[in-house]
Amino acid sequence: MAGMAAAILLAESGKHVVILERQERIGKKILLTGNGRCNISNTDMDASNYRTDDAVCLKRILEHCTEKQEAAFWQSLGMAVREVKGGLYPETNQAATVLDCLRFRIEELGIRVCTDAYVTQIRGSLGHFMICRKDAEGTEKTEEGYTQILLCCGGLAGVYKEAEQNGFGIVRGMGHAIRKGHPALVPVTCSEDMKAIAGVRTQAKVTLFQNGREVLADTGELQLTKEGISGIPVFQLTRYLDDIKNSRFEVDFLPFLTEEELPKHLNERTERMRERSMEQFFAGWLQKKLTLYLLKRSGIRAEQKPKALSEKQLLRVVREMKHCSFTPVALGNYRQAQVSVGGVPLSEVDEHLQSVKVPGIYITGEMLDVTGACGGYNLHFALVCAMTAVQGILPSP
C-alpha cells in the first residue's frame, strides 16, 4: 500500500519512479485485507489506536495526512468510499477494487514495475544508490542510478513465499535497530480444554493482564476455537501480548451486566426461576454450550436447581462468567497474523521518515515500529507514510 501510493504521488509530481516487488504481482496483500473487503481507514483517527514506543513522533506523522487529503487521494484514483460503523471501505465492498484503482493509475503514469525482484541490499549514498536484487530463480543482479529509495516492504505478517526478512535485512544492513516483535491481530492458543465450546461466537469483553497488571480491554465478538480464543477483541489485545508466560486473558461473558447490578439481577432471576435447572436458569443470558462449560468450571452440576444453592454460591458462578480466565500458550504464526509488532523505531527516522542512518532512504508502513488496531488503521498508516515521505522528497510548493 505504502509503495504503490508513494509511487503514484511521486510520478504525478513528475518524478521518475521504479517499483521493485519481490512477488510475481504488486499489491497481493491488499486482496486479503478486511476479509476481501479491504478496510482502508477509519473515521476515528485517534493516535491511541496505534501501539508505538514513540507516541509524540507518531502524532506528528499522522498529521501529514488529513481526512480531506485521504479522501482526495482515493477520489483522484476514481474510487468511491463508504463508511460502515466508522470503518472506510471501497464502495464496491471488494478489496480488488482498491488494488485495481492503484494499479490502473500506476499503468497510466507509466511507472516501471519490476516483479519477482527481491531486494536484498542497498549500497551507496543519497543521489547514488545501488540496489542488489534476486529474481525468481535466485539470480542476483545489481542496478545503479537510484537517487532516493522508499522502503515499503511491510512487516512479517501475511502470505509471502517463505518466512524471510522482507525489508528488515536491508535496514539492519544500514545500521538500523529493529525493535523485536511478534505476530499480532492473530488468534491465541490457550492451555484450557476448549473442545466443549469450540465454534461458539459471542459478545464479550476481553481483558489482557500481563504480570498481574491490566494492559488493555476490548469488547466485541469473541470466537472460541478448539485451540483457544480468537475474534476482533482478542486480535486487538495480541498487539500487547509481549510476555506470554506471564499473561492471562479474562473474559466477561456477561458484558451487559455491571458488577454492581449483578446481585440485584441474580436475586430477581432466582425469584422467578427457582424451579429451573441451572442449565435453564442462564437461558437468555448465555448460549447453552457456554452455560454448560462455565457451570462445569464452577463445579456446579447442570441439573442442580438454583434454590439448592446459596446466594453466595450463585454469585460465585456468575462471577466466574464475568471473570473467566484463559491462559495463553502461543500466538498464531506470522502467516495467520494481519500485522507484526516491532520494526524500526520512530526515533531512527526524521519527520519525513527519512533514515537518520542513511539520508535518501525512507522507511515506511509496517516496517516501522507502529502497529495499528483492527479497523483500517494499518492501511491508513501505510498511506500516511507514503504521503509523509513524498512531502519530504518533493520540494515544498
- Specify the DSSP class assigned to residue 82: E
Name the 3-class secondary structure at 361: strand
Determine the Cα angle at 91 with ends 87 and 95, to 5°.
Answer: 80
State the residue number with the nearest CB to ligand FAD: 365
Q: Work out whether 344 is an interface residue with ligand FAD (CB under 6 A).
A: no
* Residue 241 found at the interface with ligand FAD (CB under 6 A): no
Where would I find the beta strands (DSSP E) of 117-239? 118-125, 128-134, 140-146, 149-151, 183-184, 188-190, 201-210, 213-224, 228-230
Instruction: By CB under 6 A, tell whether 157 contacts ligand FAD.
Output: yes
CA distance 111 to 19: 7
Q: Which residues sit opposite 179 in a β-bridge?
A: 343
Contact between 163 and ligand FAD per CB under 6 A: no
CA nearest to 203, candidates 223, 189, 185: 223
Question: How near is the Cβ of 178 to ligand FAD at its closest, in Å?
Answer: 14
Nearest CB to ligand FAD, comparing residues 20 and 190: 20
Least Å distance between CB 375 and ligand FAD?
7
Helix/strand/coil for 251: strand
Smallest separation (angstroms) from ligand FAD to the CB of 46:
15
Q: What residues numbered 355-374 form the site for ligand FAD, per CB under 6 A?
A: 365-366
Binding mask 269-288 for ligand FAD (x = CB under 6 A): --------------------
153 near ligand FAD, rule: CB under 6 A? yes
Residue 101 touches ligand FAD, criterion: CB under 6 A: no
Pick the binder of ligand FAD from 7, 11, 17, 29 (CB under 6 A): 29
The CA-based dihedral angle spanning residues 375, 379, 380, 384, taken in that order and rounded to the nearest 10 degrees: 160
Q: Does the footprint of ligand FAD cover residue 39 (CB under 6 A)?
A: yes
The minimum distance between CB 146 and ligand FAD, in angstroms, equals 13
If we measure between CA atoms, which residue out of 223, 187, 194, 190 comes closest to residue 297?
Answer: 194
Residue from 185, 152, 181 nearest 34 by CA: 185
For residue 119, list its beta bridge partners: 133
Give the cell for residue 69. 487529503
Encoded one letter per residue, x for contact with ligand FAD by CB under 6 A and - for no contact, window 175-194 reads --------------------
Nearer to ligand FAD, 139 or 211 (CB): 139
Considering the rule CB under 6 A, would residue 22 count as an interface residue with ligand FAD? yes
Residue 160 CB, shortest distance to ligand FAD, in Å, is: 6
Q: Which H or E run contains 81?
A: strand 81-84
Determine the Cα–Cα distance for residues 36 and 89; give it in Å rounded to an integer. Answer: 11
User: Is residue 20 a contact residue for ligand FAD (CB under 6 A)?
Assistant: yes
Q: Which of 8, 9, 33, 353 binds ligand FAD (CB under 6 A)?
A: 33
Binding mask of the shown chain, residues 102 to 141, with x at each position contacting ligand FAD by CB under 6 A = ---------------xxx----------------------
How many CA atoms, within 13 angstroms, populate the side-chain half-sphere of residue 67?
10
Whole-number minimum distance, CB 339 to ligand FAD, in Å? Answer: 5
Residues recorded for the chain: 397
Q: Which of 49, 223, 291, 338 binds ligand FAD (CB under 6 A)?
A: 338
Amino acid at 387: M
Q: Is 158 in the site for ligand FAD (CB under 6 A)?
A: yes
Crossing angle (nearest 10°) for helices 311-322 and 288-298: 120
**Interacting residues toward ligand FAD by CB under 6 A:** 1-3, 20-23, 29, 32-34, 38-39, 117-119, 152-154, 157-158, 166-167, 338-339, 365-366, 376-379, 382
